[in-house]
Amino acid sequence: MTNTFWQNKKVIVTGGSGFLGSFVVEKLQARGAADIFVPRSTQYDLRKSEDISRVLADYKADIVIHLAALAGGIGANMGRPAEFFYDNLMMGVPLLHQAWQKGIEKFVAVGSICSYPKFTPIPFKEEELWNGYPEETNAPYGLAKKMLLVQSQAYRQQYGYNSIYLMPVNLFGPRDNFDLATSHVIPALIRKTVEATERGDKEIPAWGDGSPTREFLYVEDAADGIVTAAEKYNGAEPVNLGSGYEISIKDLVEMTAKMTGFTGKIVWQTDKPNGQPRRALDVSRAKEYFGWSAQVPFEEGMRRTIEWFKENRK
């Protein structure tokens, strides 16, 4: 099947050197995009309007895929809520505005599952997005990202601008951030269990009580979903990107321990926050609107991630 969509397209991928971004760039290249620009934060501070103008002037793009974000786990969100709000808002809103002004034909806004209300019926359906306030620990981040949805729909309504909004669930995979101070749950667990096994520790700590559930999406699947939507989806409605696979944190910790060879005890720190009680997505809209669904089974993704960590941490 020859796909010519990307052949003469010039694409800006903000955050393209990050975890998800690096895979999005690879997927674009695999589909024939030869002209991709990744603005580096050392040259362009996307929180500054003048730097956004410079990016769009320096590189005349057809499509902008906006992935750049200040993101992190519960601890990072609680410690720096003001930064998580301001940085994400100021990277997104002026960028979409200037992309419309400059006549860039399509804007792909990548939001977050943190935008959903704290108590959302399971599985999360996109139409539930406005039925409550997000979980407090990550609300500033979730709301800053959600403003891009409001903006996308407003610009489409008033200007006929083609901006789409996607919401990936928690991602994991090779090249993730394994720094224990800022990482998300899967890379943190992998690092903790691998290092504990090597040291011969008898126990490891885990936040909360293990009861919350989460859904995870393998990073290559997420990248494929974003590129597929950029190519095929031109609608106003927000779209979940997920695997449709829900797992409790307790089961996740036990699976990670087993796969990394850790045989000690898991000590639950029940004084630490659990975060949102349950998270699982309705993933039917992506299938219906642009024919996408996740392909990599969870255990297979975990195996690849653990292997990558062991090979690359030196």
Q: Catalytic residue positions?
A: 141
Largest Cα–Cα separation, the chain: 62
Alpha-carbon gap, residue 184 to 164, rounded angstroms: 26
Using DSSP's 3-state secondary structure scheme, residue 312 falls into: helix
Alpha-carbon gap, residue 223 to 179, rounded angstroms: 22
Q: Where are the beta strands (DSSP E) in 134-222?
A: 163-168, 170-172, 203-207, 213-218
CA-CA-CA-CA torsion for 279, 288, 23, 40, nearest 10 degrees? -90
- CA distances 232 to 10, 36, 99, 226, Å, are 16, 19, 19, 10
Which of 8-27 are b and which e, b meaning 16 or more Cβ less than 10 Å from the residue's Cβ? ebbbbbbbbebbbbbbbbeb
Element (H, E) at 65: strand 63-66
Alpha-carbon gap, residue 213 to 218, rounded angstroms: 17
Alpha-carbon gap, residue 63 to 106, rounded angstroms: 5
Alpha-carbon gap, residue 293 to 137, rounded angstroms: 29
